[in-house]
Chains A and B, each alone.
Chain A
C-alpha cells in the first residue's frame, strides 16, 4: 500500500522504526538516509557489517561477498542490506556487527 513510484516501506523489527525505500535505492541506503540505527560500512557488499535477516517481503539483489554471506544464508534471506532492493514492503532484523562500542581501545588490534 506504500507502493508509490516503486517505493516500499522497510521496517526494522529490532526498533519498530520504519522508512521508505525508493525504487532504485538499496535498503541500507534508505535506512541511512532516514538515519535509522543500522551498521554502515563499504556499501558495496564487501565488508559484511550491514547484515540483516529479512523476515517478510521480497527483494532483488546484487552480488555480495561469500566471506560474509554463504549460499545457505542467502537462500535463508540473511543478506547484506547494501545489496538488496525491495520489490515489496520489507520487515527485517539487524544482525550486522558494527556497533558504537567498536571504538573502545580494548577492541583495537584484537
Chain B
C-alpha cells in the first residue's frame, strides 16, 4: 500500500521537571542524539536511525507529561486535505508557523477527543542518520551508545471519549484499528477500554486507554532492533538504577517485546520490538478484560496495578 496521507509519529514534546538532568538521561542512558536547543530552552533529540532533525523535544515545566504529539504527513497537499477533513468533522484547527519548532515546517494543531493537543506537519529538515546517502555503512557508533533505540515508535495516551477518538482516527485521519480491549463483561463488539491504531504496517502508531482525566501520558515508546537489544537495555537500566515498571517481557497485545521504565520526571517510556506486521484489511484482534493481564505481560499474566494508575 502506498502511504499518501499520515506517515508516522514524527515528534512528541515532553515536559520534564529538571531539563539538565533529563537531557543527560535521554542523551546518555536512552542514547538519543541531541540535535539542538531553541530560544525557549527546549532541547531537541532524534533516535539515531531517524533522518529528520528531531523527534523528542524536552521542555522544562512544573509538571511532567506530554505537551503535544505530531505526525508527519506526505506533503503540503496532504496537510491541507487533513486540515479540511478535521474541520469538516467538527473539530477546530489552528496553524502554528514554520520555525516554532526547530527545523520544522508549518503545523496544523487540534485537540483530540481525549484532550491531547495533536498536530500534523509536512516538513522537517532531513539531517540523515549519519551513515550517508550513498553506499552507506550499516551502522555507526551511535547505534551502540546507551540503549540506542532506532526510532520514536508510538505513544500510549490516557483520556476520555475513546469511541470518539477511534472514530476520528479511523474515519477521518486514515488510521485502522489493529487491537482492542473490551470493557469488563462486554460482549465481542461491545464497548472498548483501549485501542491500538496504525497508519502504517506497524501494529500501532498511537494507542489510547479510556480514562477520566484528559490529556494524560502513559508512555513514549522507542523502537529497538531486536529482543537481544531489549535485554541489553534492561542491563543498562539496572546499571544506572533507572526505576523499571514492567519487563523485560512480551505484550500479548501486539506481541511486542517490551520494558516499561520511568525517566527522571516520572514520564514512562518503553523499549519495544518484535510486533507483527499489520495491514488495513486485517480484522482487529479483541482482548477481553479478564485476560488483560496477559495482554500486558504475557509471561506473568499479570495486570500490574501501575498500568491503570501511574501516568503523567
Chain A 86-110 residues near chain B, CB threshold 8 A = 97-98, 100, 102-103, 105-110
User: Do A109 and B17 have beta carbons less than 8 Å apart?
Assistant: no
Q: Which of A65, A103, A109 contacts B266, CB < 8 Å?
A: A65
User: Do B265 and A105 have beta carbons less than 8 Å apart?
Assistant: no
A63 to B17, CA, bound (A): 6
Question: What count of chain B residues pass the 8 Å CB interface test?
Answer: 35
Bin the interface of chain A by size: 20 to 34
Chain B 1-39 residues near chain A, CB threshold 8 A = 17-18
Q: Which residues of chain A are within 8 angstroms of B210 by Cβ–Cβ distance?
A: 109-110
Q: Which residues of chain B are within 8 angstroms of A66 by Cβ–Cβ distance?
A: 62-63
Chain A 28-78 residues near chain B, CB threshold 8 A = 41-47, 49, 62-68
B211, B263, B264, B312 interface centre (most CB from chain A within 10 Å):
B312
Name the CB-closest residue of B to A62.
Answer: B18
A49 to B245, CA, bound (A): 14
A94 to B135, CA, bound (A): 60
User: Do B63 and A41 have beta carbons less than 8 Å apart?
Assistant: no
Q: Which residues of chain A are within 8 angstroms of B267 by Cβ–Cβ distance?
A: 42, 44, 46
Q: Which residues of chain B are within 8 angstroms of A47 by Cβ–Cβ distance?
A: 64, 266, 310-312
Q: Is B224 an interface residue (CB 8 A)?
A: no
Q: Which residues of chain A are within 8 angstroms of B265 by Cβ–Cβ distance?
A: 44-46, 65
User: Do B289 and A44 have beta carbons less than 8 Å apart?
Assistant: no
User: Do A98 and B305 have beta carbons less than 8 Å apart?
Assistant: yes
User: Do B62 and A65 have beta carbons less than 8 Å apart?
Assistant: yes
Name the CB-closest residue of B to A44.
Answer: B266
Distance of B258 from chain A, by nearest CB (Å): 17
Tell me whether A45 and B193 are in contact in the complex, defined as CB-CB below 8 angstroms, given that A66-B62, A102-B309 are known contacts. Answer: no
Q: Which of B209, B292, B309 contacts A41, CB < 8 Å?
A: B309
User: Do B17 and A44 have beta carbons less than 8 Å apart?
Assistant: yes
Q: Which residues of chain B are within 8 angstroms of A64 by Cβ–Cβ distance?
A: 17
Tell me whether A49 and B263 are in contact in the complex, defined as CB-CB below 8 angstroms, given that A67-B63, A105-B184 are known contacts. Answer: no
User: Do A67 and B65 have beta carbons less than 8 Å apart?
Assistant: yes
Q: Which residues of chain B are within 8 angstroms of A106 by Cβ–Cβ distance?
A: 184
Q: Is B243 an interface residue (CB 8 A)?
A: yes
Q: Which residues of chain B are within 8 angstroms of A42 by Cβ–Cβ distance?
A: 64, 243, 262, 266-268, 310, 312
Q: Which residues of chain B are within 8 angstroms of A68 by Cβ–Cβ distance?
A: 63
User: Do A45 and B266 have beta carbons less than 8 Å apart?
Assistant: yes
A40 to B30, CA, bound (A): 23
Q: Which of A43, A46, A105, A107 contacts B17, CB < 8 Å?
A: A46
User: Do B211 and A110 have beta carbons less than 8 Å apart?
Assistant: yes
Q: Is B303 an interface residue (CB 8 A)?
A: yes
Nearest 9 A/B pairs, CB to CB: A46-B266, A42-B266, A46-B64, A44-B266, A109-B193, A41-B310, A109-B210, A110-B212, A105-B184
Q: B residues touching A (Cβ–Cβ < 8 Å)? A: 17-18, 62-65, 162, 183-185, 193-194, 209-212, 243, 262-268, 289-290, 292, 303, 305-306, 308-312
Known: A46-B63, A109-B194. 4 other contacts (CB 8 A): A46-B262, A102-B309, A105-B185, A108-B193
A-B contact pairs, 18 of them (CB 8 A): A44-B17, A44-B262, A44-B264, A45-B265, A46-B262, A46-B265, A63-B18, A63-B62, A65-B64, A66-B62, A68-B63, A102-B305, A103-B303, A103-B305, A105-B289, A108-B183, A109-B183, A110-B212
